[in-house]
């Protein structure tokens, strides 16, 4: 390929990058062309200069560079042994950039989106496996709610917004205050719910898991109100990341799943966990077991990267997510 057309091909990648074209849809030159020394040099010159070009948000950049490195590595394998490029390697700067983006994502960045988006996908496509149809019982066409759902650590409120649009009665909760100041998660949650014009439809409440272990009279009033009329299903995405938060989170689940009710519908929690650290996850399941909670992985069909539910770069099917059902052994 003449050098001008190689440069043009790489310019096209730059245009797609700044237009946030989803990584899986990128039009790229053949991998060996991309991985050639000239290809890598153009790529570095046209895309790496952060001072000259304002960069897309980190979540998109992470998916983009992960996909580019896959292409570069495959191109390098194809070029192996070719006389022109005997000592060819992948420019370290691409790896350093991706490593920086991965670190910036842990624990509260775009990996958080993977668990919520994957659970959102299954809520839309595999409702029966999640058992939320059966649990909801009544039919929405009768004008009655199909069931009460409470989301813990709702963050952006994405799942709560999705569930309310599916006809559920939803309470979205998060921390009302943060140590050391800053915008409380609850304010951001409220803001997002209002942006989606759902503020009249979703109940947004401050609920701190740390309060679960307190005596009844010491807990804020919201606990009393929730426990008087407990939710059928508790939902949470990406809430298992900090070992110190696991005991209060499990205590919250246990309190919500075991409180007395007149309803005959068995209560459950559905937790989507991004698998970052196997030890943290096993600490969670052990803590659940010690608190009388049974944890079962829900069998769900794998996500199809070619047919994404959310046409968005955030649904990264390669991020491992465990979706668990939790019930109280006594129920």
Ligand X SMILES: C[S@@+](CC[C@H](N)C(=O)[O-])C[C@H]1O[C@@H](n2cnc3c(N)ncnc32)[C@H](O)[C@@H]1O
Residues that bind ligand X (CB under 6 A): 108, 112-113, 115-116, 153-156, 174-175, 185, 207-210, 237-239, 241, 245, 248
CB of 216 to ligand X, least distance (A): 18
CB of 244 to ligand X, least distance (A): 10
Contacts by residues 194-203 (CB-CB < 8 Å, ≥ 24 positions apart): 196/157, 196/161, 198/161, 198/164, 198/165, 201/164, 201/170, 202/157, 202/160, 202/161, 202/164, 202/170, 202/171, 202/172, 203/170, 203/171, 203/172
> Based on CB atoms, which residue is closest to ligand X, 75 or 155?
155
Structure tokens at 239: 């809430």
| Smaller CB separation from ligand X, 36 or 274 | 274
Measured from the CB atom, the residue of 116 and 130 that comes closer to ligand X is 116
State the nearest-atom distance from the C-beta of 280 to ligand X, in Å.
12
Coil, strand, or helix at residue 306?
coil
Report the residue number, 88 or 175, with the smaller CB distance to ligand X: 175
Rounded to 10°, the helix 221-228/246-258 angle is 40
Q: Which is nearer to ligand X, 59 or 75 (CB)?
A: 59
The DSSP bridge partners found for residue 149 are 170, 233
DSSP-assigned states of every residue in 115-184: HHHHHHHHHHH-HHHHTHHHHH-S-GGGTS-S-EEEESS-TT-HHHHHHHHTT-EEEEEE-S--TT-S--
Cβ pair 120, 151 in contact under 8 A: no
Shortest Å distance, C-beta 199 to ligand X: 18
Answer for the pair 141, 119: CB distance below 8 angstroms, yes or no: no
Backbone angles phi, psi at 172, to 5 degrees: -105, 130
> At closest approach, how far in Å is the CB of 32 from ligand X?
39
Whose CB is nearest to ligand X? 155
Task: Find tokens 């606990």 and name the residue.
Answer: 223
Tell me the two tokens of residue 194.
């209002």
Minimal distance, residue 59 CB to ligand X, in Å = 11
Going 127 to 276 to 105 to 182, the CA torsion angle's sign is positive
Rounded to the nearest whole angstrom, what is the least distance from the CB of residue 120 to ligand X in the complex? 10
Choose between 154 and 250: whose C-beta lies nearer to ligand X: 154
CA distance 152 to 204: 11
Instruction: Pick between residue 19 and residue 183 the one whose CB is nearest to ligand X.
Output: 183
Q: Which is nearer to ligand X, 26 or 213 (CB)?
A: 213
| Shortest Å, Cβ 159 to ligand X | 7
Categorise residue 84: left if φ over 0, alpha if ψ from -120 to 50, beta otherwise: alpha
């Amino acid at each position: 390929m003449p050098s001008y057309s190689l440069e043009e091909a790489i310019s096209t990648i730059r245009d797609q990058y700044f237009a946030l074209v989803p990584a899986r849809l990128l039009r790229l030159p053949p991998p060996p062309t991309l991985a050639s020394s000239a290809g890598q040099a153009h790529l570095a010159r046209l895309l790496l200069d952060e001072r000259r070009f304002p960069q897309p948000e980190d979540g998109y950049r992470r998916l983009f560079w992960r996909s580019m490195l896959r292409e570069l590595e495959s191109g390098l394998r194809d070029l192996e042994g070719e006389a022109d490029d005997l000592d060819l390697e992948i420019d370290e700067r691409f790896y350093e950039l991706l490593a920086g983006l991965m670190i910036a994502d842990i624990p509260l960045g775009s990996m958080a989106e993977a668990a919520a988006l994957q659970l959102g996908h299954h809520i839309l496509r595999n409702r029966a496996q999640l058992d939320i149809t059966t649990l909801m019982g009544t039919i929405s066409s009768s004008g009655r709610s199909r069931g009460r759902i409470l989301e813990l650590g709702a963050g952006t409120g994405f799942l709560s917004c999705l569930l309310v649009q599916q006809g559920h009665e939803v309470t979205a909760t998060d921390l009302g205050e943060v140590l050391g100041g800053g915008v409380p998660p609850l304010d951001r949650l409220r803001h997002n719910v209002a942006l989606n014009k759902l503020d009249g439809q979703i109940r947004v409440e401050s609920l701190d898991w740390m309060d679960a272990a307190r005596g009844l009279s010491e807990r804020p009033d919201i606990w009393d109100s929730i426990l008087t009329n407990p939710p059928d299903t508790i939902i949470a995405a990406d809430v298992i990341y900090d070992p110190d938060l696991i005991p209060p989170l499990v205590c919250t689940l246990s309190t919500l799943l075991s409180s007395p009710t007149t309803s005959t519908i068995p209560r459950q929690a559905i937790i989507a966990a991004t698998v970052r650290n196997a030890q943290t996850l096993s600490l969670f399941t052990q803590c659940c077991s010690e608190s009388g909670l049974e944890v079962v992985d829900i069998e769900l069909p794998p996500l199809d990267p070619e047919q994404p539910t959310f046409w968005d770069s955030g649904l990264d099917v390669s991020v491992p997510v465990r979706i668990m059902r939790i019930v109280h052994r006594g129920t």
